[in-house]
Amino acid sequence: MPGYDEIPKLPKPVAVCFQVIFSIMPITQLAIGAKYLHECPQQPNIPVYLLVSGVISLLLPALSILCQTSCFWDNVNIFGCLSFLVSLFCTGWFIAGNVWIYSIYEPNYNKTISVDSASMGLYCDKTLYLFAFWTTTLGYILFGLLIMACFCTCLCLGAKYQFDCPQQRYIPIYLLVSGVVTLLLAMLSVLPCCAYFGNQSQTWSCLVCLFFFGWFIAGSVWIYSIYEPNYDKTVDRHG
């Protein structure tokens, strides 16, 4: 089994390019949050949310780089604890940002116009709000695509290796069914024809989710019960 030092790493120029690419969004968040800091009295926490998100997004890679510098920290556990705390804060901060952004959709973009007397002076700059709204929504879209990609992979792997796990033949079946059920859930949620069935589509979605939960438990039992299996069909451990 290869040691930590033997794990292949990306070439330094490639790693730097990735760092630059992934830093574009946090820097943009910082720039827009700072520029429009006082331009959203309808929800003043939105520019603050962008500022803090940008800082945190730049902080995590910095912590990773510092951790890899052996002369900086001798104890890697310090980095692990800091990363966990920062990630925990990011989760709570992201939830708070969702509440602030979606709760005022769609805001008043014109500071000179008020919908009623109670909202006099309440507005949110259009550039600021749309940037916060679409970057947050894009996160959900990418997360959904990632989940779909994972379960499509499960479907493909289950079909390809359907007869290659006699030690626990239910594992490829588990992958196949998981992929099919996930695609079915996606279809139930997005197909326009489901609207014609009214509450029936919601009932079917609940039933499929309930089945998927039980199927996940069964799959966990099948997978962990044979850990760690024999990977070589030419070798018999009990021979």
Q: Is the model's pTM score more than 0.85?
A: no
Listed by start position, the domains of the chain span 4-139, 161-224
End-to-end distance of the chain based on CA atoms, in angstroms? 24
Residue 171 pLDDT grade (very low, low, confident, very high; cuts 50, 70, 90): very high
Give the model's confidence band at 188: pLDDT under 50 very low, under 70 low, under 90 confident, else very high.
low
More confident site: 178 or 235: 178
Q: Percentage of the chain with pLDDT > 90? A: 35
Which of 48-57, 76-85, 226-235 is the least confident region? Answer: 76-85
Cα–Cα distance for residue pair 121/110, rounded to 1 Å: 9
Query: Which range has the top average pLDDT, 74-78, 152-156, 168-172, 232-236?
Result: 168-172
Length of the chain in terms of residues written? 239
Compute the distance between CA of residue 101 and CA of residue 106 in angstroms, rounded to an integer: 9
Give whole-number Cα distances, 102 to 35, 105, 158, 167, 177, in Å. 21, 5, 39, 49, 35
